[in-house]
Amino acid sequence: MLNAETRQTIVALHRAGESYRSIARRLRIDRKTVGGVIESGKNPTDVNSNSRIEVCEDLLRTLYKDCNGWVQRMHEKLIEEHGITIAYSTLTLRCRELGLGNNRKKNRRAAHVETGPGEEMQHDTSPYVVKLGGKAMGVVASVIYLRYSKMIYLKFYLHFRRYDMKCFLHEALKYFGGSAQICVIDNTNLARLLGSGASAIIHHEMESYSRRYGFEFICHEIKHSDRKAGNERCFRTVETNFLPGRTFRNLDDLNAQALQWATVRMAKRPHDKTKLIPAEIFEYERDYLTPFTPDLPGPTRSYSRSINPYGFVPIDANEYWVPGEKRGTVSIIEYPGRLEIFRERDRVVEYEKISADICGQKLSPKGTDLRPARRKRPRPTAMEEAELRKLGASVGDYIDFLLIEARGIRAHNIIRLIHGLSRRITATLFIRTIQRSCHYRITDFSVIENIASMLLAESGLSLPRMDIDPDLEKRQAFMDGETSPAPDLDVYDMPTEDEIEETPDNPLE
C-alpha cells in the first residue's frame, strides 16, 4: 500500500512530463500502480489507504454479549440482520482493538518492579513428565527464585501438598542461609485461604510458618504471571536445558542432578544480556537476607494409623512395622526425612523416610524377626504313651498308627482319652478294643467307646443294677435341706489376724 508521500511524488513527476514507465522505474514500483494513482483523479493527500468500514462500538459490544463471545456468529448477524457487509478479518481486528475476547490482555504493557538485594523471592510449581528408571512418571517441580541475584533452588516431588511446600521452603532457605522479605506466589490454595491478588488472605498456618523465617507471602493478580517472570523463565529453562539428554534412575537421582544443575551449573552461568554471574551476586545479596536460627527445627505433621493383623501401619503406599504384640491405633509424627511412631506418648520406633517413588515395601528395623510367635504346644503325652505301651505290643502299634494318621494336637488328645479308658475298664477288654480299632484303622474316640461297649455285651457281662428308693425325696432330711436358711456371709467382713496386727493402736497417728 502506497503512502501519501509516494502518491504526491507520482503526481508531481507526471505533471513534469515523465511517462508511466520512467516513473515506475525511478520509484521501483509497478507501472499499473503508477497509472492507478494518476487516473484516480484524486488529491493524494485525501486518499486514505487504511480506509475500512466502521461499525458502531455499542453495536459490537451488544453483539459480543449476545453471541457469548463467538465472533463468527457476530459476523453472520451483522450481515443478515443489520445489513453491514464487513470482512471477517476486519471484524476480529475491531474486536481486538475494543478489548473484546481473551486477547484483551495479550498486548498489555507490563509494569517493571524494582527490587533491591534481599527484598523479594518467588516460588511456584510446574508439572512435568519424566522417565524414572525407564518408566514415565508425572512429577511436580518446585522452584525458589531470588529476584536480585537470580539464584534458584529446584526440587521434584511426586505430589506437592501443603506439608511438602513447608518442607521445600525449609530446605531451600536453609541452603541460602536466610530469606528475602517477601515471597511472591500465585493464587494457590496451599498458602491462600481466600481472595486473590492484593486482596488475598493467607492461611493462618502458612502465615505463622513464614514468620518463623522472617518473610511474608504475597499473591499476584490472576493471569498476571509476569509478576514472577523470573520463576516462569526457570521452568522454561528446566524444560529446554535440564530435562533433555539426561537419564534418571529414580526420584533421588533426579533431585541430586537437579540440585547440582540449579546451584552449581546455573549459578555460574552468566546471563545473556547483563553477563552477570548469579553466584557472585548472591555473595553480595547474602548479607541482606533475613537470617534465622541454624538449628530451627523443620516442619512436622502428625496423624494416626491402625495396626493391621500383621503388625504394620500404612504410610505413603508403604508399610512400617510396629514393635509389640498389641494392635490398636498409634500416633505418627513426620519430620523432614524421618518418621517417629508413638503408642500412648511412648516412642516405640523411628524410621528414615524412603524415596517417594518406592511403593509397596514392608519396612522394619534391622535385625527384627517379623515371624509371628508360635503358639504354645499342648502338654506332651510321653507319660501316657509309656503307660499304654506297657499293656502290649498291639497297644504300641495302635499308638504309632495314631501319631502318623491323626497327627499333631488331635493325636495327643486321642492318646489322653484312650489312656483314661484304660483306667475305667479291665486290661483284657481294653486290649481287645484297641486291637479291633487298629484293625479297622479307627481314629474317632466315640467309635472306640462303642467298640468297648459291644465287646462288653458279647462277653455277657453288664454293670450292676442299683436300686433307688422311690420315696427318697419324701424323707425328712431331704425336705429340711431343700428349705435350709441362707449361709451367714458376715464372717468374711471381719478383719483377719494379719490385718489386726497391722492396725495402729492410735488410729489418729
Query: 345 is in which domain, residue-wise?
Result: 301-363
The beta strands (E) that lie in 353-502 are given as: 362-363
Q: Is the pTM value of this prediction over 0.75? A: no
CA angle 178, 179, 180 (to 5 degrees): 140
Residue 137 · residue 156 · CB < 8 Å:
no
Cα 211 to chain centroid, rounded: 26
Cell numbers of 47, please? Answer: 486518499
Cβ atoms within 10 A of the Cβ of 430, count? 22
Same domain, 340 and 199: no
Q: How far apart are CA 84 and CA 91, in angstroms?
A: 11
Same domain, 450 and 325: no
Same domain, 142 and 98: no
Residue 498 lies in a domain: no
Residue 95 · residue 60 · CB < 8 Å:
yes
Q: Which residues pair with 135 in a beta bridge?
A: 132
Same domain, 132 and 215: yes
Task: Give me the pLDDT at residue 508, please.
Answer: 44
Cβ atoms within 10 A of the Cβ of 264, count? 11
Cell numbers of 284, please? Answer: 553480595
Q: How far apart are CA 449 and CA 434, in angstroms?
A: 10
Cα 49 to chain centroid, rounded: 63
- In tens digits, what is the pLDDT along the chain, a chain of 509 residues? 677 788 888 888 888 888 888 888 888 888 888 888 888 754 444 444 455 567 888 888 899 988 888 888 889 889 888 888 888 888 888 888 888 876 545 556 666 778 889 999 999 999 999 999 889 999 999 999 999 999 999 999 999 999 999 999 999 999 999 999 999 999 889 999 999 888 999 999 999 999 999 999 999 988 888 888 888 899 999 999 999 989 999 999 999 999 999 999 999 998 877 788 999 999 999 999 999 887 888 899 999 999 998 889 999 889 999 988 888 899 999 998 899 999 988 898 999 988 888 888 888 888 776 665 555 555 578 888 889 999 899 999 998 998 888 877 888 888 989 999 998 888 888 999 999 999 989 989 999 999 988 888 887 766 566 677 777 777 777 777 666 666 665 655 666 555 555 555 544 44
Residue 386 lies in a domain: yes
Residue 488 lies in a domain: no
Cβ atoms within 10 A of the Cβ of 275, count? 7
- Strand 182-185 and strand 120-132: pairing? parallel
Q: Which of 438, 458, 478 is the last residue of a domain?
A: 458
Same domain, 234 and 174: yes
Same domain, 21 and 146: no
Same domain, 124 and 249: yes
How many domains does the chain divide into?
Answer: 5
- For helices 31-39 and 4-15, angle between their N-to-C axes, nearest 10 degrees: 80
Residue 368 lies in a domain: no
Residue 418 lies in a domain: yes
Residue 115 lies in a domain: no
Same domain, 134 and 259: yes
CATH number at residue 124: 3.30.420.10
Q: How far apart are CA 98 and CA 64, in angstroms?
A: 11
Task: Give me the pLDDT at residue 46, please.
Answer: 47
Residue 78 · residue 63 · CB < 8 Å:
yes
Residue 410 lies in a domain: yes
Task: Give me the pLDDT at residue 52, please.
Answer: 59
Same domain, 77 and 132: no
Same domain, 199 and 308: no
Q: How far apart are CA 317 and CA 340, in angstroms?
A: 17
DSSP class per residue in 301-348: EEEEEEPPTTSEEEETTEEEE--SS--SEEEEEEETTEEEEEETTEEE
Residue 499 lies in a domain: no
Same domain, 313 and 443: no
- Strand 135-146 and strand 120-132: pairing? antiparallel
Closest CA to 156 of 144, 169, 167, 143: 143
Same domain, 194 and 336: no
Q: Which of 458, 483, 499 is the last residue of a domain?
A: 458
Task: Give me the pLDDT at residue 509, please.
Answer: 44
Residue 139 · residue 156 · CB < 8 Å:
yes
